[in-house]
Structure 1
Amino acid sequence: MRVLMFGWEFPPHIAGGLGTACYGMTRGLARNDVEVIFVVPRAYGDEDQRFARVVNASDVETLYTITEQGGEDIVDKMSFIHIDSNMVPYISPEEYASYREEFVHSGRKQWQTTDVWKQRYTFSGKYGANLMEEVARYAMVAAEVARELEGQFDVIHAHDWLTYYAGIAAKRVSGKPLVVHMHATEYDRSGENVNTQVYAIEKAGMEAADKVIAVSNLTRNIVIQKYGIPADKVVTVHNAVRFPGKGELPPERGVEDKVVTFLGRITYQKGPDYFVEAAAKVLKRVPGVRFVMAGSGDMMNHVIRRVARLGIADRFHFTGFLRGEDVNRMFQLSDVYVMPSVSEPFGISPLEAMRSNVPVIISKQSGVAEVLDYALKVDYWDVDALADAIYGLITYPALARMFAKKGHEEVTGLKWNNAAAKIRQVYEQVVAANERNQE
């Protein structure tokens, strides 16, 4: 089985859990005899390619061909993309409209020979102001990649909304079945105040897909109810965690205080404000506790101001965004890990904490709650319950040891090999159905 996979990030260059999940998945797929070609907007050359061949979209020249016979070209194949931005590298929207009018509509019959127009775009691979523009351009590159790799893949797999148009483009060019992976919906990120443009892309991607993989039953229900995707088209495959080889000894702690950690994007979705309010309640009962907020995001300044107003700034530490071994070290320094997410499709970080023998507290509004028995679960909005859970784990050593021990045993069984085996089954189903349709 061979898969052409589109993602937005790949370790070691990641901004969150999506890249971590993609890496674990590719390793698991390799062990299930699935060959992966993984396309990212921008590759840096230091990616681990033992389990997947990484293709740098920034190195791909998109090729536009116009012939007198009026054959379909890339521009026509991309006509389903409706984004208010420049869709072709290095030219303005006005210039793009002029080129399209000249080459596609009015000028095509005037050409007596084949005309070729090549463009290359260097993607930032970031989540910046021109994100929508890069999403559209990435789709155009995806079509070219699918054309160049004709015969080298059996199925297409696109991760999250950023790559859905790329997946659709590759499907239209190659005729191969498409699987889209929903790691987080716009409802998770924005509540009911959804970005209609992102919602439309998510919906289009799932409607065009042959199968949709959701990372939890929580996410699956949102996909069915909020996007109107048929239930028999959506399958749940829970994420997993990778256990690294033997590493360095745990870092030495410079303080005797208990350490309670929040690690994730400091955004509405992750519930950082509830963590702060619970911390203030705990410190009224147990002064000798330190709280760490590791991450970055648009709520950072708000959280810092709230910590100052509550008078707990001397017990709070902001590390900024952590990655790689720094994440593992942070877990090893922690006595409790807290994930108070308002809406979490899955949540890999609690598994990483449990892997480090750290007891965890998670919100009931998280997909990972579906697979964990030995995690304390509270409603994200119940600050008193969250404070009580933290207090219990830092005050009663036997309770903390029990959750740490049982949690580590539990998470050991959540392997990417098993998740990848389920994903391979999805591939086999859509490939077989596609072959039947072509008969």
Structure 2
Amino acid sequence: MKTRVLMFGWEFPPHIAGGLGTACLGLTKGLAKQGVEVLFVMPKASGDEDQSAAKIINASDVEALFDVVDVEEYWKNINFMEIGSNLIPYMDPEHFEKEVNERVKTGQREERIGFKNKYTFSGKYGANLMEEVARYAIVAATIARQQKFDVIHAHDWLTYAAGIAAKKVSGKPLVIHVHATEFDRSGENVNQLVYDLERQGMLAADRVITVSNLTRNIVINRYGIDSAKVVTVHNAVDFQSYKDMDVEKGVKEKVVTFLGRITYQKGPEYFIEAANKVLKAYPNVRFVMAGSGDLMNRSIRRVAKLRIATHFHFTGFLKGQDVQKMFAQSDVYVMPSVSEPFGISPLEAMRSGVPTIISKQSGVAEVLKHALKVDFWDVDALADAIYGLLKYPALSRMAGRCGLEEVNTLKWENAAYLLKHIYEEVKQN
């Protein structure tokens, strides 16, 4: 009998802010090939989502019924209405401040959900994020009452409360998917509210899926979760829509690229310091920082202070075809993340044949043999690796060729196969 999964996410391509939406699409496509039917719930659907592998349910279209259990009870100890904090690093401080000011200026205050009311979610990572997380849980309970399914699957902390609410009203098993933890996002300066939501989700879950063994260890050791119910399922990458590009470079120099959010987690400062060292030995190179984030202004100031601005470029946030164009122009790709639960961008770079350097502190390091690996903090080793790939063409060609062969074996179908078996296990318990 076909398994039916009620899946909760926060974003889905083509409108995404990071790797979470990309992973959700890859997994749903893989599950469809395994014969698993997915109902994918998101706060705000745009109508142009890919529904070939999953039926999209728009939470903004659902009338929330208050006879669906005491979901409000779940929130009684949480003051979520007035949270003013940049909780997720998809929004830089300037955008966040603008968002908050806009709400204050316009007096924007949504009414609380009443009986048979709809709530229009923004579906973004904005100033009222915690309010939306709480409302999403209330709507999730309604959806769980209305739909038929065998298993609940909740992606990332934003949807854990929704998953718990759905489990309460349906009695169905809950699987939660940890794509990142608060320790990855904030280091040791954790937001206690987010940590508590994460831990509640993990405790309530029948199975916890982590995207790497690195993340699995954090879940067990930092959240106190029973290791018997924590399973690693590595991410993959979908290259079906990927087109090989022949792009005119525009510059004669070699190009070394950092692509990701310019935030603590991604280690942009180590990239800049390594660039400074490389330029002293190999001046015929340009460094590109593609992305945006809360450390962008500081990074620009540091580049100016080091006097390497003529060899350094900031592109801002890139998505879709622009990402592929950037890789097509790159000679080396670097991901010096301080803490990376997995990291899909190195796989995308390797698919373009770009020699890749990653930090040992990344989940993707567990599955890649043909990427150069350094400790994120070892700027000298990172500079040496970049210099080696720029200076020695044979090394660069071998890294590019072997990387391409390797990354083509990492398929979402393999991850979905493991997921299907996890669903079968929790259904039987």
Please report the TM-score for the alignment, with normalisation by the length of structure 2.
0.91
Q: Which of 145, 153, 170 matches 1:174?
A: 170
Q: Which of 40, 43, 63 matches 1:38?
A: 40
Match of 2:376 in 1: 380
Match of 2:111 in 1: 91
- TM superposition shift of 1:333: 1.0
Can you list the C-alpha shifts for 1:24-54, whole angstroms capped at 9, x where unaligned?
A: 1111111111111111111111111001111
Residue type matched to 2:51 in 1?
Q
Q: Which of 24, 28, 32 matches 2:30?
A: 28
CA distance in 1, matches of 2:365, 2:427: 32
- For structure 2, the 5+ residue unaligned runs are 83-108
Match of 2:355 in 1: 359
- TM superposition shift of 1:80: 1.3
- TM superposition shift of 1:77: 2.8
- TM superposition shift of 1:191: 1.0
Residue type matched to 2:236 in 1?
A
- TM superposition shift of 1:91: 3.1
Match of 2:204 in 1: 208
Q: Which of 110, 131, 134 matches 2:132?
A: 134
- For the 8 Å contact 1:344–1:365, the answer to whether it is kept is yes
- For the 8 Å contact 2:244–2:352, the answer to whether it is kept is no
- TM superposition shift of 1:243: 1.3
- For the 8 Å contact 2:4–2:149, the answer to whether it is kept is yes
* Pair 1:185-2:181 in alignment: yes
CA distance in 2, matches of 1:245, 1:170: 34
SS of the residue 2:337 aligns to: coil
Q: 1:124 to 1:365 in 2, by over 3 A?
A: same
CA distance in 2, matches of 1:16, 1:246: 18
| Matches for 1:224-373 after TM superposition, within 5 Å | 224-245=220-241, 247=243, 249-373=245-369
Residue type matched to 1:50 in 2?
S
CA distance in 1, matches of 2:20, 2:423: 20
CA distance in 2, matches of 1:420, 1:359: 28
- For the 8 Å contact 2:272–2:303, the answer to whether it is kept is yes
Match of 1:63 in 2: 65
- For structure 1, the 5+ residue unaligned runs are 66-72, 97-115, 434-439
- TM superposition shift of 1:245: 4.5
- For the 8 Å contact 1:63–1:118, the answer to whether it is kept is yes
- My pick for the range that moved more, 185-194 or 155-164, is 185-194
- TM superposition shift of 1:248: 6.0
| Matches for 1:103-114 after TM superposition, within 5 Å | none
| Matches for 1:396-435 after TM superposition, within 5 Å | 396-433=392-429
CA distance in 1, matches of 2:400, 2:144: 46
Match of 1:112 in 2: none
CA distance in 1, matches of 2:368, 2:243: 26
Can you list the C-alpha shifts for 1:95-115, whole angstroms capped at 9, x where unaligned?
A: x9xxxxxxxxxxxxxxxxxxx
CA distance in 2, matches of 1:153, 1:118: 23
SS of the residue 1:78 aligns to: helix
Give the root-mean-square deviation of aligned CA atoms.
1.4
CA distance in 1, matches of 2:328, 2:163: 39
Match of 1:108 in 2: none
SS of the residue 1:307 aligns to: helix
CA distance in 2, matches of 1:394, 1:83: 53
- TM superposition shift of 1:246: 6.2
- For the 8 Å contact 2:245–2:328, the answer to whether it is kept is no
SS of the residue 1:197 aligns to: helix
- For the 8 Å contact 1:6–1:158, the answer to whether it is kept is yes
CA distance in 1, matches of 2:244, 2:184: 36
- TM superposition shift of 1:121: 1.1
Residue type matched to 2:122 in 1?
S
Greater gyration radius: 1
Residue type matched to 2:138 in 1?
M
- TM superposition shift of 1:244: 2.2
Q: 1:320 to 1:174 in 2, by over 3 A?
A: same
Residue type matched to 2:72 in 1?
M
Residue type matched to 1:219 in 2?
T
CA distance in 1, matches of 2:199, 2:242: 43
- For the 8 Å contact 1:39–1:57, the answer to whether it is kept is yes
- TM superposition shift of 1:263: 0.6
- TM superposition shift of 1:413: 0.8
SS of the residue 1:13 aligns to: coil
CA distance in 2, matches of 1:310, 1:168: 50
Match of 2:72 in 1: 78
Segments of 4+ moved more than 6 angstroms: none
CA distance in 1, matches of 2:331, 2:407: 17
SS of the residue 1:292 aligns to: strand
Match of 1:125 in 2: 123
- TM superposition shift of 1:255: 1.1
SS of the residue 1:362 aligns to: strand
Match of 2:103 in 1: none
Can you list the C-alpha shifts for 1:157-210, whole angstroms capped at 9, x where unaligned?
A: 000100000000011111110000000011111111111100000000000000
- For the 8 Å contact 2:337–2:376, the answer to whether it is kept is yes
Can you list the C-alpha shifts for 1:90-145, whole angstroms capped at 9, x where unaligned?
A: 337xxx9xxxxxxxxxxxxxxxxxxx822211111111111111100110111111
Can you list the C-alpha shifts for 1:299-329, whole angstroms capped at 9, x where unaligned?
A: 0100000011010111111111111111111
